[in-house]
Chain A
């Protein structure tokens, strides 16, 4: 696929992620994907904007909500669908499912289903990068809720203390499951991180993949030059329910108006010319991946006790 400019390329990447997750929604009722899925629909611009300035060898650590980052970092569509199906050809041979997607070959490190648990792992990878002089920038991506965990605070401290090449990227969708940020946090995300001595940056336009990308590019360059860790907050909005494929704007904890407000800015919903230009190629890639997943074999008994210790 040839792109006229960066905007088109990022648009394509974001649309590719959205269509992949929409395909998951289509397949899910057939029970062929038996895995808890945490969809990023609405949040794709962050994944594509954050990953664009990164090199393949820059490690990025994610959470259970990782389809978007897996694909944006360069993970293979086939690996992902086969893994969601629990097939032997999945990226982790059917041992990971949706919540633990991994593609170390493109620097997409493990996703963990325990909130905040990969944040210190990213800091450790940054320690290694610095000690070994690899020139890598390490990225840890987490939600607003993850910042409530003690390990996040302890990781910020260590990263700043040792001026490690790590970028803390917070996808702030204002929710942890159904709980509003204001019911959970007494602090401001950026102000709080700044108390550890990290330069911080807040982006309110999490739908704007060019802006996300530019801010990330600047921060990554600074980190790569050895000036220590940075904290980036991207405000965003999750369209689907926390886990699963449904919409839940009618159950009381959030309003349809907020969804519509966000959707009004969502480029994927408004630039129909680009959507039309890209949809066919994207559909072909996804069709191929789904076919691959369906035709692949299940893992067998010989896999049960492999790779334990």
Chain B
């Protein structure tokens, strides 16, 4: 535990999220003859933001298939292929486009096993990219994990680091016999992380304890995991506040024991999600704690997420729309001290998109 990664592009052993994705896509094709990629533009020169570049040339057009613009039928075709011995890996360059495939994902992929009394399996991986910043706006930025995680029969992951990808994708493709929805964050693609060699053998479909601390538990998803780690380091340095950070990772199957043990220890919980709070991850993690034993809480639960609106495009509004390192550190200081005027120095940074500046539009 306590995987030693850091945002660090100079470190010799660092790798980007994109590189990890590419390694897994290539590995899937090389090691699993039944695996194939099916998605819009997987074979073009940009290769799904660099995660599939060159694979069509290396493995052939049968294994790396460009698709027409037809999300629902392509998903259904993927399901049919999975029912008959192939392993489809499908891509949506924005999670928003997967909404067109909801019928096949929710009514079919999620149901085949149970509805037919366990007689079918639909092993497949559906990758969806969450957009953010540079005016992505209302239809290119939605973070739809709770929609998918709501549905029994789907496994939903949100890898927050290259390690999470390297530990999870190969394992799923080799071992998991059901449909997996993976939400990848576009802002993470270009970030280099320092990384120890990836530990094999853990169950990748659960949550991950990234930092130990005694004062407050931060349960985070995707890019908010990075913010939680940065906030925790800031709070430790400036105020001696020790935050425990849990990367929820498998949104549909969180590690209940890990979360409950942690909140029992710290007595305080913050949930930092990339999406809306209502009916989402924030609500769900709060439910786990409240149904278990609300008396372990020494302070009210605090949650961070997008403002309850579609995403605006103007940068001034977008900066207000998303939670920031600053709002997370402020929330943690308030929860731990029990005071709004906590006096803890806050990081200056207002706009996360500025920090992840390697992401510069348009896509």
Interface of A toward B, CB cutoff 8 Å: 31, 34-37, 86-88, 90, 93-100, 112-116, 145-146, 148-150, 176-179, 183-185, 243-244, 251-253, 298-301, 303-305, 308
Contacts and interface: CB of A to CB of B under 8 A. Distances in A.
Contacts of B316: 86, 94, 298-300
Contact of A94 (B45, B67, B317): B317
Contacts, number: 134
Contacts of B312: 94-95, 299, 303-304
Contacts of A303: 312, 317
Contacts of B138: 95, 100
B46 interface: yes
B40 A177 contact: yes
Given A184-B66, A301-B320, 19 more contacts: A31-B360, A94-B316, A97-B135, A99-B140, A99-B313, A100-B313, A113-B139, A115-B97, A148-B68, A148-B70, A177-B41, A177-B44, A185-B68, A243-B362, A253-B44, A253-B45, A304-B307, A304-B309, A304-B317
Contacts of A37: 362
B72 interface: yes
Contact of A305 (B45, B309, B313): B309
Given A179-B40, A304-B321, A305-B308, A113 B140 contact: yes
Given A303-B317, A308-B310, A184 B140 contact: no
Given A97-B313, A99-B140, A303-B317, A244 B363 contact: yes
Nearest to A248: B45
Contacts of B135: 34-36, 86, 97-99
B73 interface: yes
Given A94-B317, A116-B69, A253-B45, A243 B363 contact: yes
B41 A179 contact: yes
Interface of B: 40-41, 44-46, 66-73, 96-97, 99-100, 133-140, 307-310, 312-317, 320-321, 360-363
Contact of B139 (A88, A112, A179): A112
Contacts of A178: 41, 44-46
A86 B315 contact: yes
Contacts of B307: 304-305
A97 to B, nearest CB: 3
Given A98-B135, A114-B139, A150-B73, A179 B313 contact: no
A77 to B, nearest CB: 19
A308 B308 contact: yes
Contacts of B321: 304
B312 to A, nearest CB: 4
Given A99-B137, A177-B41, A251-B45, A299 B70 contact: no
A299 B321 CA distance: 12
A158 B22 CA distance: 43
Contacts of B41: 177-179
A99 B45 CA distance: 24
B52 to A, nearest CB: 13
A288 to B, nearest CB: 21
A179 B66 contact: yes
Nearest to B139: A113
Contacts of B99: 114
30 contacts: A35-B135, A86-B316, A94-B316, A95-B137, A95-B310, A95-B313, A96-B137, A96-B313, A98-B135, A99-B137, A99-B139, A99-B313, A100-B137, A114-B99, A149-B100, A150-B73, A179-B41, A183-B66, A184-B66, A184-B69, A243-B363, A244-B361, A298-B314, A299-B317, A303-B312, A304-B309, A304-B320, A305-B307, A305-B308, A308-B310
Contacts of A97: 135, 137, 313-314
A266 B67 CA distance: 32
A299 B44 contact: no
A36 B139 contact: no
A116 B68 CA distance: 13
A70 to B, nearest CB: 15
A145 B69 contact: yes
A123 to B, nearest CB: 17
Nearest to B360: A31
Contacts of B73: 150
A185 B67 CA distance: 10
Contacts of A149: 69-71, 100
A300 B319 CA distance: 11
Nearest to B133: A34
Contacts of B361: 34-36, 244
B44 A148 contact: no
Contact of A150 (B44, B67, B72): B72
Contacts of A113: 137, 139-140
Nearest to B353: A34
Nearest to A242: B363
Contacts of A93: 314
B44 to A, nearest CB: 4
Contacts of B314: 86-88, 90, 93-95, 97, 298-299
Contacts of A94: 312-314, 316-317
From A36, A243, A301, residue with most partner B Cβ within 10 Å? A36
A95 to B, nearest CB: 4
B70 A150 contact: yes
A298 B317 CA distance: 9
Nearest to B46: A178
A33 B7 CA distance: 28
A251 B46 CA distance: 10
Nearest to A152: B69
A113 B315 CA distance: 18
Nearest to B311: A95
B134 A35 contact: yes
Nearest to A95: B312
Nearest to A179: B66
Contacts of A251: 45
A303 B321 CA distance: 11
A125 to B, nearest CB: 20
